[in-house]
Structure 1
Amino acid sequence: MKMHHFLISIITSYFLFNSFSVIAQNEVLQELEEIAIIDQKVMIPMRDGVRLAADVYRPKTDKKVPIIFSRTPYNFNNWVDGKQITTMRVKKALEAVKKGYAYVVQNERGRYFSEGEWDILGVPVTDGYDTFTWMKNQPWSNGKIGTYGCSSSAEWQLAVAALDHPSHAAMVPQGYGAGIGRVGNLYEQGNWYRGGVEQMLFMAWLYRVEHDKFKPRIPAGATQEDLIRISRFYDLDPENPPIDMAEAFKHLPIQDIIKNVHGKTEIFDKMITRKPNDPDWYEGGLYHDDMDFGVPSFWFASWYDLSITPNLVLFNHVRNNAKDTSIRDNQYLVISPNLHCEFTRGTSQNTIIGELSVGDARLNYDEQIYAWFDFWLKGEQNNFKEKTPRVQYYTMGRNIWQASETWPPENAKPITYYLNSNGHANSAFGDGKLTTTKPKTDHPDQYTYDPMLPVPSLGGNICCTDNVIKGGAYNQQQMETRNDILVYTTDVLDKGIEVTGFITSTLYVSSDVKDTDFTIKLIDVHPDGSAYNLDETIQRARYREGYDKEVFMKKGEVYKIDLTPMATSNYFKKGHRIRVEISSSNFPRFARNLNTGGNNYDEKEGIVAHNNIHHSSKHASHISLPIILK
């Protein structure tokens, strides 16, 4: 009898919860319908005749209004089983309309109700420009457009900003790394690479999102009325069969990973064969540093996003290199302690990133973003520039927001820490030391890297891997028992040290194979021995002299490798220790190097590498930490 009442209680709670949820959704829609003119499935023509589908929400007013524009490859159809539902974009539309803006959301070319063929970033770039022109010419528009979005809704904005449309008045890109191609010495090409090594996230992402070329298609020229009608019955959002993505990632060769799980492969097939400086990277929708930049921007990045360093490098590039001085002077940045696109999820007094609490990381995001738009799109003299720091960044460990006029802060001084040991730095039980004094003699540390037994990824700066990898800060202690991880640690700190800025590292290496990879992690070791990751990177040895050529190693020779920079803001408290881990794999965060010197992407068999890290007065492997001097 008790079980009967228990089941009734659960069922009743379920229906009450869902009833309240439906009521809340209906209230959002009802409020939006009361204050907004809603125009759905508007087909906006591009210069080649292809039409892109958009939903338009605008205030019920005779006054001309500015526009907040979001462009996406994802589904925003808000009809399911013939009933209208509330989506996140409908909530954003309500927020914008209440603040006096029209809100326009558009699907990229070839996605859902938009015509044409899809490619990553919604190329051609002119689609964004043509949509700006259409919006500017609407009788209800004041001619000012602000672009807004995170991840795929942010990345396309970068290359379009280089076109400098006269109505593109301001932008708010968040988690925008996959829109960055080449900037400075970084050749990530839209997060496809890190240090010349494939980042495996796209293998999961493309399996999920790429629509099949044999999908049902709406006839060209369908009327808006017909599109609205059929959208009640067809959301055009097919789901691929669920798979074990962790198991899928293990497949070799990696060029067949999506094919092996029966996914669509056209976009992946053409990208997986590209090298880091392939000319095709410069023909699509990526932003590269030889392009100008024409839009005031309020950038949002996060410490545990997969592309934190390129994001910060791009911010500096625009500030220093835009041709228009007024554009250079109107770049602002926020860096939060979150994962990819989780800015507003830190809504409690205790923000947990992975396993680690970073304190109360809340920030008035919406207030600042709309103040930015009010300034640029409405012309309001709201003192945004006087009230808003140039750079707002969250310092973990101290668990506070800080401000600076530059990134890194001007009082960050690079201090060099050298790797040292007596040749036995393998695992946390070894003798690896991190010191500010340069070692005098060379006792190289050797470890074996077997690509069939790679170091597994645990935590870190990730996105989009279908929960194959847990993102954020995780205790690395168990990982550090492996002999294929070299561990170098400072003495216990007798006072706290704040590290804020870019972290550079140089390794002197040798190997018995032609090509291999080298990884590094920066770790905060707590007094109880728990060791939490802050950032990580990797470098393929063949690209140590640049990404326009491949230079292979010779057995026994020592080579200098400069790894791509890491970035963080972390306070290592008194009693903590600073640690770095060195290895040759971080899988499946990064693709495994099979050590053959071949293409890697089309190979099934690997060979074992015996890799050495050297540290002496001549070959002083080291890491440079930006220490804040008070």
Structure 2
Amino acid sequence: MKSFTRFTLLVFSLFITHNAMAQDDILESLSEIAIVDQKVMMPMRDGVRLATDIYRPKTDDKVPVIFSRTPYNFNSWGDGEQQTRTAQRAYEAVKRGYAYVVQNERGRYYSEGEWDILGVPLTDGYDAFTWMKNQSWSNGKIGTIGCSSTAEWQMAIAALDHPSHFAMVPQAYGAGVGRVGEFFEQGNWYRGGVEQMLFFSWLYGVEHDKFKPRIPAGATQEDLIRISRFYDLAPENPRVDMSEAMKHLPIQDILKNINGKQEVFDKMVRRKPNHPDWYKGGLYHDDMGFGVPSFWFASWYDVSISPNLALYNHVRNNAKDSEVKDNQYMVIAPVLHCRYTRATENTIVGERNVGDARLNYDEQIYAWFDWWLKGEDTNFKEKTPRVQYYTMGSNKWQAAEQWPPENTQLVTYYLNSGGDANSLYGDGELTTKKPNNDTPDSFIYDPMNPVKSYGGNVCCTGNAVQGGAFDQQIMETRNDILVYTTDVLDSGIEVTGFIESLLYVSSDVKDTDFTIKLIDVYPDGTAYNLDETIQRVRYREGYDKEVFMKKGMVYKVDLTPMATSNYFKKGHRIRIEISSSNFPRFARNLNTGGDNFNESEAVIAINSVHHSSKYPSQIRLPIKQ
């Protein structure tokens, strides 16, 4: 044990030394080509100052700006991965003739003020654009870029339509989407009215305590640069086993139970899907305008692929400015959250090899910026398809002028069985023929023994859920999972677009959840998950009201659409799973009809899915013709 510990420490020491060397190398290279101005305290209209690092070419010419705003640590004196990435991005931008500006949201690290998710107020983003536009070295044209929390603030700011905000590249931006069309995710907090538990883990890892050490007000830039070499203000949270932490009830006390910071979490965990406070922060909602040409990046195994695609469609269809409407582009990759550049010639997502998913991301992004920020004729529109999407199974990049591609048609597949679709060994069928069996499929849902999340479209859950495609056969042995499968396919079928599902359900409790999962079944039985969703039944008639069930009554439930592009090869089968839990991807419904977030006691439910001529439960697949 002692020798193992010494070896571990040696490896860790070498890792830190290597990272520090890499950081030093990139900073040296950057200093050779850039004027570096760090810890610039950019003033906002209320007097709060935001810590900003500026890297710009050594030239007297005015240059465009690439702006990255983030809640994460970018102190260049650190040796972490985030700091090294910041220096590398700055180097690439400056090398190409751009000023690269990175800024912490208010209340984060050296930025003054109090933090809230997405860096509210929105005026901070607007004020930052105005400040950069007015600098002597700026040509007045600004593009924004970032992934995840560094992207999600961009949409609401785009609604303000600042005259210098010429273009943006939001990547994995779902937590910035509040309400768009039928999606009421409120920044990934909900799916179908059910809490997505990723923020329970994410907030533990990133939120700074209100009693954190603070830099004295009015500190000079010189002082801030000096002390940043010794103090980067990054908290070191004790490691937590999130797979166990998320089991705690009531869920409102999960962070309290692990000694986490609770200020932001406490107010969010109590909000229902249509609470007015969702509409006061930094989320983008579909009643807002949109004023910026955008190059969007999404991925099939991200946490909110369907709302991401819905937002792209919303902007393309509803932007008032025809130039903005016509300049929306999209890339959809077969990867996890923010993993675009990690695709290889043998890209593995979870357990599934989806082939060579590489793409010339940097070339396309800089061609986009060169066009909008420098006015160069890069032929972006001629070279770049409107939508670039990767089809798994056939493992290839494809192009379309719209989403879904115009040559797709929704085909209805009905659920059917003899009343025993429970588990992989049941008699559940998925067929294009309308069902005629009136015997429903029933299962027991015990919130204290939920179906475990196994793979899926996730991010940010620590060790609680590993995202991606995993063989679901071991899960499908559970009796509380209903399994419906087509016959073996005589020819290949490409499913590309939004997947709609409609269930007719009943229960012996006032409220419960229903989940659905789409799966590609290989000839050897391997069953890879593609997408998944959930619906809390009390919200089946809308998120502005709660309508509870009565025992013995059958209710129609439209689940929020899933999305994928997958080629089901000849010899494969298409499968869906239905259950009432997918935990800890989603919070458990305790089946009481209560608030759920403040409850610890659960009720066991007997839930049923009906499939008959009167109650034709179904899934509608967008099949490419």
Q: Shared fold by TM > 0.5?
A: yes
Distance 1:71 1:10, change over 3 A: closer
Q: Aligned partners of 1:16, 1:214: CA distance in 2, in Å?
A: 34
Q: Is the 8 A contact 1:78 1:84 kept in 2?
A: no
Q: Which residue identity is paired with 2:361? A: Y
Q: Aligned partners of 2:605, 2:276: CA distance in 1, in Å?
A: 32
Q: Aligned partners of 1:7, 1:557: CA distance in 2, in Å?
A: 61
Distance 1:581 1:325, change over 3 A: same
Q: Is the 8 A contact 2:504 2:609 kept in 1?
A: yes
Distance 1:210 1:85, change over 3 A: closer
Q: Aligned partners of 2:532, 2:204: CA distance in 1, in Å?
A: 26
Q: Please state if 1:200 is matched with 2:197.
A: yes
The corresponding residue for 2:411 is: 415
Q: Aligned partners of 1:86, 1:594: CA distance in 2, in Å?
A: 42
Alpha-carbon offset, residue 215 of structure 1: 0.8
The corresponding residue for 1:32 is: 30
Alpha-carbon offset, residue 11 of structure 1: 10
Partner SS, residue 40 of structure 2:
strand
The corresponding residue for 1:461 is: 457
Q: Please state if 1:220 is matched with 2:204.
A: no
Partner SS, residue 580 of structure 1:
strand
Q: Aligned partners of 1:252, 1:447: CA distance in 2, in Å?
A: 24
Identify unmatched segments of 5+ residues in structure 2: none
Q: Aligned partners of 2:281, 2:82: CA distance in 1, in Å?
A: 35
The corresponding residue for 2:151 is: 154
Query: Which of 359, 380, 398 is matched with 1:402 structurally?
Result: 398
Aligned counterparts, 1:324-335, within 5 A: 324-335=321-332
Q: Aligned partners of 1:8, 1:498: CA distance in 2, in Å?
A: 53
Aligned counterparts, 1:311-330, within 5 A: 311-330=308-327
Q: Is the 8 A contact 1:29 1:86 kept in 2?
A: no
Q: Which residue identity is paired with 1:499? A: V
Distance 1:426 1:331, change over 3 A: same
Q: Aligned partners of 2:281, 2:14: CA distance in 1, in Å?
A: 49
The corresponding residue for 2:353 is: 357
Alpha-carbon offset, residue 9 of structure 1: 11
Q: Is the 8 A contact 1:28 1:86 kept in 2?
A: no
Q: Aligned partners of 1:566, 1:252: CA distance in 2, in Å?
A: 29
Q: Is the 8 A contact 1:183 1:310 kept in 2?
A: yes
Aligned counterparts, 1:143-542, within 5 A: 143-346=140-343, 348-542=344-538
Number of residues paired by the alignment?
Answer: 623
Q: TM-score, normalised by structure 1?
A: 0.97
Question: RMSD between aligned alpha carbons?
Answer: 1.9
Alpha-carbon offset, residue 467 of structure 1: 2.3
Distance 1:20 1:512, change over 3 A: closer
Q: TM-score, normalised by structure 2?
A: 0.97
Q: Aligned partners of 2:215, 2:13: CA distance in 1, in Å?
A: 37
Deviations 1:266-302, CA, capped at 9 Å, x for gaps: 1111111111000000000000000000000000000
Q: Please state if 1:577 is matched with 2:573.
A: yes
Q: Aligned partners of 2:537, 2:223: CA distance in 1, in Å?
A: 56
The corresponding residue for 2:53 is: 55
Q: Is the 8 A contact 1:488 1:581 kept in 2?
A: yes
Q: Please state if 1:618 is matched with 2:614.
A: yes
Q: Aligned partners of 1:610, 1:22: CA distance in 2, in Å?
A: 57
Alpha-carbon offset, residue 443 of structure 1: 1.2
Alpha-carbon offset, residue 79 of structure 1: 1.4
Identify unmatched segments of 5+ residues in structure 1: none
Q: Which residue identity is paired with 2:134? A: N
Q: Is the 8 A contact 1:488 1:579 kept in 2?
A: yes
Alpha-carbon offset, residue 243 of structure 1: 1.4
Q: Which residue identity is paired with 1:36? A: A
Q: Aligned partners of 1:383, 1:367: CA distance in 2, in Å?
A: 12
Q: Aligned partners of 1:155, 1:108: CA distance in 2, in Å?
A: 12
Q: Aligned partners of 2:558, 2:511: CA distance in 1, in Å?
A: 15
Partner SS, residue 69 of structure 2:
strand
Partner SS, residue 181 of structure 1:
strand
Deviations 1:208-235, CA, capped at 9 Å, x for gaps: 1111111111111110001001101111
Q: Is the 8 A contact 1:510 1:558 kept in 2?
A: yes
> Following TM superposition, where does structure 1 have runs of at least 4 consecutive aligned residues deviating by more than 2 angstroms?
6-27, 83-86
Alpha-carbon offset, residue 239 of structure 1: 1.5
The corresponding residue for 1:557 is: 553
Deviations 1:444-495, CA, capped at 9 Å, x for gaps: 0000000000000000000000121010000000000000000000000010
